[in-house]
Amino acid sequence: MATDADDDPQTARATHAADEVPGPPASLDAFLAGIGPRAFRFAELGLRQRDDALDAVQDAMLRMLGYADRPATEWTPLFWSILRRRIVDLQRRRSFRLRWLLPAPVHEDGDAVEWSDAGPDPSRSHDGREAYGRLAGALSLLPRRQREAFSLRILEELDVATTARVMGCGEGAVKTHLSRARAALQKQLKDWQ
C-alpha cells in the first residue's frame, strides 16, 4: 500500500540519503580494508615511490592493530596521524641518505621511470587517469604541509578539526595551508581546466 510519503520526492531523497550514510565499521579489519586504497594514494603522493608507499601503509595498519580496543570513532584520525608520521619518517630517512643525489631510474629505452602507477585500470577512463596524473604532479610540487592539508581535507574529506589533529597543528594553520595549496594548484592547472 503506497502512502503520500512514498510519492513525496523530499521524503524519498531523505530516506535514500539516510541509507547511504555508513555507520561505524563492524571491526578494525573492515575499517582497514576500507581505508587501504585511499591511504595508499595519500602515501604515494607524499613519498613518490610505490614501494615506500606500500611500506608506509602496511606499517600504519600494523600499528593500528594495537588500538583495536579504542572506540571506532577514534580510528580515522588515529590512522591518518600514524600514516602521516610514517610518511614524514620515511621522507626524513630518504633525505638523510641523500637519495636525491642518485640519478633517476630509467627504462631500457632511455625514458625516465615515473613514480605513479601507469598500469591498466579499467575502472578509470583515460581522462580520469590524465586528470589524476596532472593533479598528482601538481601536488608533488607543493610544500609538504600544503600537500597534506589538501589531501586530507579535499581528497579524504576529513573535517578541519580532524585534519588539524592529524597534522599536529591548529585549525587556522590547516585553513592557511589549504588556501595556499588551492591557490597554487589553480595556478598550476589553469591551462588544463
pLDDT digits (tens, 9 = 90+) for 25-49: 678 999 999 999 999 999 988 888 8
pLDDT of residue 31: 93
pLDDT of residue 96: 57
Q: Give the lowest-confidence range in 7-16, 125-134, 170-179.
A: 7-16
Q: How far apart are CA 89 and CA 172, in angstroms?
A: 25
CATH topology of domain 126-193: Arc Repressor Mutant, subunit A (1.10.10)
Going by the DSSP 8-state scheme, the letter that residue 111 receives in this structure is P
C-beta separation of 147 from 38 below 8 A: no
Nearest 10 degrees: Cα torsion 54, 88, 180, 191:
-40
Where in the chain are all domains bearing CATH 1.10.10.10?
126-193
pLDDT digits (tens, 9 = 90+) for 134-174: 888 888 889 999 999 998 998 888 899 999 999 999 999 99
Predicted TM-score (pTM) of the model is 0.54
pLDDT digits (tens, 9 = 90+) for 103-123: 555 656 666 555 555 555 454
Cα distance between the two ends of the chain: 50
C-beta separation of 76 from 162 below 8 A: yes
pLDDT of residue 116: 53
pLDDT higher for 67 or 91?
Answer: 67
What integer best gives the mean pLDDT of the chain?
78
Q: 26-106 — its CATH code?
A: 1.10.1740
Where in the chain are all domains bearing CATH 1.10.1740?
26-106
pLDDT of residue 114: 58
pLDDT higher for 86 or 5?
Answer: 86
pLDDT higher for 192 or 168?
Answer: 168
Nearest 10 degrees: Cα torsion 162, 163, 166, 170:
-100
pLDDT of residue 121: 47
In the predicted model, is pLDDT for residue 8 greater than 70? Answer: no
